[in-house]
Chains A and B, each alone.
Chain A
Amino acid sequence: MKTIKSIFALLFLSMGMVSCSDSTDDPMPVSDNPLEAFNLTSSFEANGHVLELYSDQDGYFLGYNEVYVRIKDLATESYIPDATIAWNPIMHMTDKTHSCPRSEITATGDATVYKGYIVFQMASNTDEYWELNLEYRIGGTTYNVTDQIVVNAPVNGKKTVNVFTGTDNVRYILAMMPFAPEVAVNDFSAVLFKMETMMNFPLVADHTITIDPRMPSMGNHSSPNNEDLIFDPESGSYIGKLSLTMTGYWKINLKLLNDNGDVLKGEDITEENEESSLFFELEF
């Protein structure tokens, strides 16, 4: 009996210890660098500042690039909060220059970190290069910096951005937003812009992008329960669901419909027509 009692006592004690240790757990140490998980892709030095650009990718790539920006004051070695930043990427082609679709740069939860995205519709090459201009305003003073950046073609060669002219004679740019594909129903989204001028790319709202994922290596197998991409005004992107029944190479055939339901680009997949002229690719 005595031993049983002492065993119980021990049990209670150990439970107490477990719960104590639970409650006294140290909070996660605050990382010095909130962008530690990202890659530094550029750092522009000018005006006594360093502008650091980060991406979750290993550089800039063709298609949709999410970019984080910080401004470091070289004098104080600290990052400057509450600045306003605007950017303008310019492609210097052999015969002309043009820009590309991009978002505004907005604040994030961390006052020293700013965020936006750029959709590069072409990669740099030996004769043609991208230049990124950043105009930033700190406490009433506007600064400017411009430098070259390299936009890489995707490593796996998969298509994630489409530039095309719709049946309405508008030139569109449609880019897939990156995600980690799984054998599951994936959240799937894209951004759509039109090219008004060589330098002006406004967001296009209220269209619809239908999706039909296929595996050409599996007799053009398709998956069930996909949801077409519908415009989400809050994020400014098109959001839907993409089912992937297995790993491997998928071609996501697309059709772009305007707000009247007219097809602007893309075709249905049938026995005779195995792919649409508008598509994304992914492989995992």
Chain B
Amino acid sequence: MKNKNSSGTGLRSSMYVVWTLVLCIVVLLHQKLQAQEPVPVPTMDSIIPINLEEVIVISVFKRGISHKSQPKPLSTLDQYLESSKKVSMIKRGAYAWDPMLNDMTSERLSITIDGMRIFGACTDKMDPITSYVDVSNLSEVQVKSGQQGAQHGNTIGGALDMRLEKSNFKSLGWTGSVETGYETNNASQIVGGELNFSDARFYVDTDIIYRKADNYTAGSGEEIAFSQFEKYNLSANAGYKVAEDQKLLASFIFDEARDVGYPALPMDVSLARAYIGSVSWIQSKFVGSFKNWETKVYANTITHVMDDSQRPDVPIRMDMPGWSDTYGFYTQTELSVDNHVLMGKLDGYYNRSLAEMTMHPNDPNEQEMFMLTWPDVRTLNSGIYLEDKITLKEASLKFSTRVAVQAYNVADRFGLNSLRIFYPDMTQRQTRVMKSISAHYHKAFKGVHFSGGLAYGDRSPSVSEGFGFYLFNSFDNHDYIGNPDLKNEKALESHFKLALPLKNLEIGVEGNYFHTMDYIIGEIDPVLDVMTIGADGVKVYTNLEYANLYNVSLDMAYKITSELDWNGSISYHRGTDQNGRNLPFISPVDYRVRFTYGDGSFSGSLSLSGALEQNNFSPDFGEDRTPAYTLLSLSMGKSFSMGQDRLYAKMGIENIFDTYYSTYADWNNIPRMGRNFFMTLSYAIN
């Protein structure tokens, strides 16, 4: 009771602080306007089509742009992604959030690093690809919706391409920076630095970042056990100009996380490690009229060790390590003919996914129990992508298509025999063909932009969907069995976007609709007996007849003064199957409102975000009604010039009222972080 009172007082006092600060910002400072956060493709007149694309800018500081556009510069990549309007994140703890685009997760997305394919090694999706890079590696994340994202791989929901930061032969000489940050809620410490050299002929960029966090505390003071994490990331990038129009580039990332807690799951991760490397050759002239020839070869390897050794009370001890190795290439070139810009790309990759589970019986005289949960699945994918951008008068058209052939081979005899328990006639190999075709039209007229398109695409099942063996899902409390006989999932998609500038107000309306046939989802098989102790049943992946997903959003941006902007957005999402049954992980009505202030050296933002009650939830998949919530956050930053160098300080409060809440995307309703003060310092040496 006493605690409650004190937190109530805390709440009231923090409210005062907030409102005082808001007054400071609004009353004291008002001048001109500027663009802000998720920077949409700049509205250059008519030529560049708006591809329903969003770019999440990450390395603003290093580019010399003010920190104004990013309220929390050293936050995790997950937080950057979450701040975007299109991407939402499934959370199983404080680390390794799983990105969703158009209410679809990784198996329906193409997630790449500079166009490189890379696949997580965890059967329980505890290591989305975004967890193997850090903000220090990246310049931006390109978000493309639906088949607009088919350039790097077959997709249904869209693509996230994380672009690595490169000095790119700018004549900067030696530059460096040191950054540090601290967050109070989970005693999170961040230390990072970078050292770069760049001239017209050669560049090398290096960076390092280290993060360590303790358990976080939810709103109103509940400590969330097993939410700690520790990670470090090193990367190096180099480029050499062999000739004026020939560049040789190489990049390497090492990322390692240890002692990562997943409070929403029954297991944690003792090690998640990735080596990601590539070499590319870029040539502005290619044969004949072809230009911008780029070829890249890459390789990456992931080791992921999941265990429950830290958990005090489990029905049975288990270790679940997993490995994923990918080798790939792509080569692409462009051709301009009249008003057409044609682009062609050939790509291919080979992935090996293996995961195993060893359970240690409580009776020490019994032998260990072992199974392969991913039976060493070898995937060989080769594809071709073609795109034609046609410039018309105040308009543009874009056609694109991808065809890919994907071959699976269940290489491990033990794993194949395991799956044949369920599918006696299963073949060791199978081949699938995937298609994608899309048309996109963009019209610009007196500052009004309209774009819309139609597309068709399909995807093959993921390793878990096709070949998973007793994968426990703690959300719906079922074991999942893969199904090698699944049909490809196919989506018919349409989208539109309308942007209307009205003096200082800009209004955008956007909608996406996906009619997905043979939608892949797990359905209960009442005959099968559970493997995981305490599970409610076994689900087998099947094709639904179809599912419909759509989302609409309204965006507004208002330039109050030249320094002060307001923007707000609201979105509505819905997803149902052929019987009108709700699909899981579909966002309720979601809104955010933000004031941003920036006058060169000082910046500040105040944001309000929240969601309405989730009424369209899916009890079959473990969901329940998620209550509405509203959060308020504030940040302020100031930059100081010190001769050539610059110091940038930023501080802020998230979840100012210490609200206890969880969202529709929180695994097992795990509550999110309560009030959190953060501070970051960046020192750039030029």
A224 close to B367 (CB less than 8 A): no
> Complex Cα distance A283/B534, Å?
23
Q: Is the interface of A mostly helix, strand, loop or mixed?
A: loop
CB < 8 Å neighbour of A219 from B315, B368, B371, B372: B315
> Assuming A185-B424, A245-B418, A248-B367, is B470 touching A224 (CB within 8 A)?
no
B422 close to A248 (CB less than 8 A): no
A184 to chain B, nearest CB (A): 3
The yes or no answer to B173 lying at the interface (CB within 8 A) is no
> Complex Cα distance A223/B414, Å?
16
B417 close to A184 (CB less than 8 A): yes
- Nearest residue (CB) in A for B469 is A245
The yes or no answer to A11 lying at the interface (CB within 8 A) is no
B424: A residues at CB distance < 8 A:
185, 225
B357: A residues at CB distance < 8 A:
246
> Complex Cα distance A243/B367, Å?
18
B417 close to A247 (CB less than 8 A): no
The yes or no answer to A264 lying at the interface (CB within 8 A) is no
Q: Which residues of chain A from 237 to 284 have any CB-CB distance to chain B below 8 Å in the complex?
A: 243-249, 283-284
- Nearest residue (CB) in B for A185 is B421
CB < 8 Å neighbour of B422 from A183, A221, A222, A224: A224
Number of A-B contacts (CB under 8 A): 82
CB < 8 Å neighbour of B366 from A185, A221, A246, A248: A248
B363: A residues at CB distance < 8 A:
217
A224: B residues at CB distance < 8 A:
421-422, 527-529
The yes or no answer to A199 lying at the interface (CB within 8 A) is no
> Complex Cα distance A283/B370, Å?
12
- Nearest residue (CB) in A for B528 is A224
> Complex Cα distance A198/B289, Å?
97
Q: Is the interface of B mostly helix, strand, loop or mixed?
A: loop
> Assuming A185-B420, A185-B421, is B533 touching A219 (CB within 8 A)?
yes
> Assuming A219-B530, A225-B424, is B368 touching A247 (CB within 8 A)?
yes
The yes or no answer to A28 lying at the interface (CB within 8 A) is no
Q: Mark B384-422, 1 if CB is under 8 A from A, else 0.
A: 000000000000000000000000000000100110111
The yes or no answer to B531 lying at the interface (CB within 8 A) is yes
- Nearest residue (CB) in B for A184 is B417
B534: A residues at CB distance < 8 A:
219
The yes or no answer to B627 lying at the interface (CB within 8 A) is no
The yes or no answer to B316 lying at the interface (CB within 8 A) is yes
The yes or no answer to B361 lying at the interface (CB within 8 A) is yes
- Nearest residue (CB) in B for A220 is B529
B470 close to A249 (CB less than 8 A): no
A227 to chain B, nearest CB (A): 11
A245 close to B367 (CB less than 8 A): no
B627 to chain A, nearest CB (A): 34
> Complex Cα distance A210/B369, Å?
25
A183 close to B528 (CB less than 8 A): no
Q: Which residues of chain B from 304 to 327 have any CB-CB distance to chain A below 8 Å in the complex?
A: 315-316
The yes or no answer to B29 lying at the interface (CB within 8 A) is no
A7 to chain B, nearest CB (A): 28
B527: A residues at CB distance < 8 A:
224
A247 close to B421 (CB less than 8 A): no
A218 close to B369 (CB less than 8 A): yes
> Assuming A184-B421, A243-B421, is B529 touching A222 (CB within 8 A)?
yes
The yes or no answer to B5 lying at the interface (CB within 8 A) is no
A20 to chain B, nearest CB (A): 32
A221: B residues at CB distance < 8 A:
529-531, 533
By CB atoms of chain A within 10 A, which of B362, B369, B422, B527 has the most? Answer: B369
A218: B residues at CB distance < 8 A:
316, 359, 369, 531, 533
B361 close to A217 (CB less than 8 A): yes
The yes or no answer to A82 lying at the interface (CB within 8 A) is no
The yes or no answer to A215 lying at the interface (CB within 8 A) is yes
B531 close to A245 (CB less than 8 A): yes
B417 close to A249 (CB less than 8 A): no
By CB atoms of chain A within 10 A, which of B421, B424, B528, B530 has the most? Answer: B421
- Supply 23 A–B pairs (Cβ within 8 Å), ascending by A: A183-B371, A217-B359, A217-B362, A217-B369, A218-B359, A218-B369, A219-B533, A223-B421, A224-B421, A224-B422, A224-B527, A224-B529, A225-B424, A244-B421, A245-B421, A246-B359, A246-B370, A246-B371, A248-B361, A248-B368, A248-B370, A249-B366, A283-B366
Q: Which 7 pairs show the lowest CB-CB distances between chains A and B? A: A248-B369, A184-B417, A219-B533, A222-B529, A246-B371, A217-B361, A247-B370
